[in-house]
Amino acid sequence: MTRKRVKLANITNDAARKTTYKKRVKGLVKKQNNRVMNQESFPVQWLAKSNERLQKRVMFQHLGRKGLQNLEEDLNELGWLIQQNLKDIGNRIDMLIKTYALWGKYEY
């Protein structure tokens, strides 16, 4: 059974309007909190997804070739790239911590 169409109109009763507003806000906040990431977990998740994508790409490239001669070189290069990204993320986190310490919002 389908819902009937609701006629849009201003709610004149103050108490009913405030109650409706609170319910809608509560529902929206509930939905947005499921997708929220903080600055610490985002780079870790992004790096993990990037690592998976690179591994899949390397696998498919090498499966398409006749031989697997360059696989070891590519894996070493991939490892170096991941280490470099981890260093960059660590440097960025340190810079953010120092910035927040200067603003007095974080003790370093």
The token duo for 42 is 């985002």
pLDDT-derived band at 35 (thresholds 50, 70, 90) equals low
The encoded tokens of residue 107 equal: 């003790």
In angstroms, the CA 82 to CA 59 distance is 17
Residue 46 tokens read as: 């992004």
Query: How large is the C-alpha radius of gyration of the chain?
Result: 25
Tokens describing residue 26: 């509560």
In this model, does residue 15 exceed pLDDT 90? yes
Kindly state the average pLDDT of the residues 10-32. 88
47 neighbors 82 (Cβ within 8 angstroms)? yes
The pTM for the full model equals 0.36
